């Protein structure tokens, strides 16, 4: 049996950013590199064996997730935390902003050393990464983030790899 816990917090913010402010022509960015939380889960389930340093990092990310940041959100049009994986959360961001997101798997960063053990198409399903997924101008340079795609008119999310849609 799995134990599942949920926490909801409320409060007030002096300023905030929503998921709905994205614009056609925006670039899609992510902070950090996804995959460690899923790798930690796979290690605990006995389905993945990793070198000790990577195993400890994966277990730490999965068992004790910490939110990335804080970030200065100036210049960002729409954002959300990456809590359910890029696949699910990008669809939420696309719907809220009324846009089509195109994500290039070739641009997704993986944690150093993990690429030999976890494919990118699996890393994009890794939840509890607690990084920032956001839309902003193509020349955004407010803090360290990796451009992984783009926004255009339309709806939904398209993944590309090697120049082809998946």
User: Using one digit for the tens of pLDDT, what is the confidence trace for 132-148?
Assistant: 999 999 999 999 999 99
Model confidence band, residue 8 (pLDDT cutoffs 50, 70, 90)? confident
Instruction: Tell me the pLDDT tens digit for each residue of 33-80.
Output: 999 999 999 999 999 999 999 999 999 999 999 999 989 999 999 999
Q: Is the pTM of this model over 0.95?
A: no
What pLDDT sits at residue 14?
74
Percent of the chain at pLDDT > 90 equals 87
| More confident call, 119 vs 8 | 119
Model confidence band, residue 7 (pLDDT cutoffs 50, 70, 90)? confident
Query: Are β-strands 100-104 and 78-82 bridged in parallel, bridged antiparallel, or unpaired?
Result: unpaired
Residue 87, pLDDT > 80, answer yes
Instruction: Kindly tell me the sign of the dihedral angle through the C-alpha atoms of 89, 148, 67, 58.
Output: positive
For residue 103, what are its two tokens?
Answer: 């994500």
Instruction: Kindly tell me the sign of the dihedral angle through the C-alpha atoms of 33, 56, 80, 160.
Output: positive
Residue 166, pLDDT > 90, answer no
Average pLDDT, the chain: 94
Residue 105, pLDDT > 90, answer yes
What pLDDT sits at residue 129?
93
Q: Where are any strands of DSSP class E within 4-155?
A: 27-30, 78-82, 100-104, 131-136, 146-152
Model confidence band, residue 154 (pLDDT cutoffs 50, 70, 90)? very high
């Amino acid at each position: 049996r799995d134990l599942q816990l949920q926490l909801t917090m409320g409060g007030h913010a002096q300023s905030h950013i929503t998921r709905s402010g994205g614009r056609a022509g925006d670039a899609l960015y992510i902070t950090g590199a996804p995959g460690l939380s899923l790798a930690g889960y796979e290690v605990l389930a006995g389905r993945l064996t990793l070198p000790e340093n990577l195993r400890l990092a994966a277990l730490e990310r999965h068992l004790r997730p910490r939110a990335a940041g804080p970030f200065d959100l100036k210049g960002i049009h729409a954002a959300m935390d990456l809590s359910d994986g890029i696949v699910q959360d990008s669809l939420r961001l696309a719907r809220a902003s009324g846009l089509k997101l195109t994500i290039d798997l070739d641009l997704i960063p993986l944690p150093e050393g993990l690429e030999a053990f976890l494919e990118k198409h699996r890393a994009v399903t890794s939840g509890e990464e607690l990084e920032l997924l956001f839309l902003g101008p193509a020349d955004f340079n407010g803090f360290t983030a990796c451009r992984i795609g783009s926004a255009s008119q339309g709806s939904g999310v398209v993944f590309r790899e090697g120049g082809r849609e998946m």
